[in-house]
Chain A
Amino acid sequence: MQCDDTLLRDRMAAAQAGDKEAYALLLADLLPVVRGMVYRKRSFLDVADREDLVQDILLSLHAVRRTYSPDRPFLPWFYAIASNRLADKGRQDARYKRILDIGSDFHETFPAIATNTPFEGYGDQQELADAISQLPPGQRQAIELLKLKEMTLKEASSASGLTIASLKISVHRGMKTLKRLLRQGSDQ
């Protein structure tokens, strides 16, 4: 889709002055551009996650619309925000993925005892269930939804009513507590 910078610039200037109709038109014009960008650059994500990203970009644009100066071109301003959000979200996801991966079960382990010690507890289902039951309620819920029922963050968020951010923190803390509990169990 071709975007006319002058038209977008005028619409944004009107939106900054409180013209809701111009703003709705501007966002509607930008939607296919944002979708195209996200779908092209994040083709490996599922549709729901890509749409989340589209919404994040639109929200960011809305939140910082005061930084646009109507005497400057609109598209460089808009693309700078969109690219920055894409990169930021990519870094954030990578960071959270690393957190979620902590302690996840290995399919293969090495034969040496030292390499297996921290994960020995996982082989004992009863011990694992006992350890999970000892977790604080928030952490237990996050572990059950994300690790046992293997829900996505979004699904877990709508099932529990908690925000994605707090679920991520709870599951991270839950995994740490679980590791500690299982280590204590195997030491005894």
Chain B
Amino acid sequence: MNTEDLIKQLSNDAADVTVLRPPLVRASVWVLLSVTSVVIAVWVFGLRPDIKIKLSEWRFVSEQFLTILTAVMAAFGAFCAVVPGRHKALIYLPFVPLVLWVSVLGYGCFLDSAATGEQSAFLIDWMCFPAIVMVGALPAMAMVFMLRRGAPMYPRLAVALGGLAAAAAGNFGLRFFHMVDAGLLVLIWQFGSVVLLSIIAGCCGHRIHNWTSVTDELKTA
């Protein structure tokens, strides 16, 4: 088909479209959905009995604050990544709370070893990874659905950020029912799971969202 004919066909087929809301609004919607889903998950698993004590500890509160901040910023970054022409710095913004989060966790490890006078015992916690996946599953599905409505400008990065947002939301919920607070364990099994899930998501990014599938839908329509 020649290009002039294609233009005629595209303009003839052009129905009205719902304009995508700005990334900040979309991120707010996603956060609302995710918080609801996380609250339900925490209610199902049951709040940890020492939650009142934990909420009075600066370390727990700051870790949780940075976890949810990472989730929110990552969601915002992911939604910016699917809008053409957005400043790229916005996409990399979530790395600021992520670095702060890992720094606070690292400082927690240091405090633990200073308190006991030796290295914290390294234990295997099999629950963290599947629990983060479970709690973060609904936020992840919502994220994929919302990302696919955008343009696949940087699919790997966008999906990795989406994965980071969902996994961080999952980790945020996990700490309300899973009584593991030792710095090293949180750093390796919880933060490690979040990073691993983000990397896995990033590796699948091109399969989840790409130009070929976006334009093929048009060709088959």
List chain A positions with a Cβ less than 8 A from chain B. 15-18, 20-21, 23-24, 27-28, 31, 51, 54-56, 58-60, 62-70, 72-73, 76-81, 84-85, 88, 165
**Interface presence of B56 (CB below 8 A):** no
Flag if A28 contacts B7 (CB, 8 Å): yes
Flag if B14 contacts A67 (CB, 8 Å): no
5 smallest A-B Cβ distances: which pairs? A18-B16, A24-B11, A80-B84, A64-B151, A76-B85
How many Å from the CB of B73 to the closest CB on chain A? 21
Flag if A67 contacts B150 (CB, 8 Å): yes
Q: How far apart sit A66 and B19, CA to CA, in the bound complex (Å)?
A: 5
7 pairs, A vs B, C-beta closer than 8 Å: A18-B14, A31-B3, A62-B14, A64-B151, A65-B17, A69-B22, A85-B211
**Interface presence of B57 (CB below 8 A):** no
Q: Which of A28, A55, A80 contacts B153 (CB 8 A)?
A: A80
CB-based nearest B residue for A30: B7
Residues of A within 8 Å of B19, CB to CB, are 16, 66, 68-70
Flag if B85 contacts A79 (CB, 8 Å): yes
**Interface presence of B104 (CB below 8 A):** no
Query: In chain B, residues 114-160, which have Cβ atoms closer than 8 Å to a Cβ of chain A?
Result: 149-151, 153
Q: How far apart sit A72 and B85, CA to CA, in the bound complex (Å)?
A: 10
Q: Indicate with 1 or 0, residue by residue over B66-82, a CB within 8 angstroms of chain A CB atoms.
A: 00000000000000001
Flag if B20 contacts A63 (CB, 8 Å): no
How many Å from the CB of B6 to the closest CB on chain A? 5
Q: A69-B22, A76-B85, A88-B211 are in contact. Are A58 and B14 (CB under 8 A)?
A: no
Count, A-B residue pairs, CB within 8 A: 99
Q: How far apart sit A4 and B84, CA to CA, in the bound complex (Å)?
A: 19
Flag if A58 contacts B7 (CB, 8 Å): yes
Q: How far apart sit A3 and B55, CA to CA, in the bound complex (Å)?
A: 57
Flag if A66 contacts B20 (CB, 8 Å): yes
How many Å from the CB of A54 to the closest CB on chain B? 6
Q: Indicate with 1 or 0, residue by residue over B186-221, a CB within 8 angstroms of chain A CB atoms.
A: 000000000000000000000000011011011100
Query: In chain B, residues 1-52, which have Cβ atoms closer than 8 Å to a Cβ of chain A?
Result: 1-4, 6-8, 10-12, 14-20, 22
Q: How far apart sit A110 and B55, CA to CA, in the bound complex (Å)?
A: 72
**Interface presence of B102 (CB below 8 A):** no
Q: How far apart sit A165 and B216, CA to CA, in the bound complex (Å)?
A: 11
How many Å from the CB of B97 to the closest CB on chain A? 26
How many Å from the CB of A49 to the closest CB on chain B? 13
**Interface presence of B180 (CB below 8 A):** no
Known: A64-B151, A77-B84, A79-B85. 6 other contacts (CB 8 A): A16-B19, A23-B10, A31-B7, A51-B2, A63-B214, A67-B151
Flag if B11 contacts A23 (CB, 8 Å): yes
Residues of B within 8 Å of A78, CB to CB, are 84-85
Q: Which of A27, A88, A165 contacts B11 (CB 8 A)?
A: A27
Residues of A within 8 Å of B20, CB to CB, are 66-67, 69
Residues of B within 8 Å of A70, CB to CB, are 19
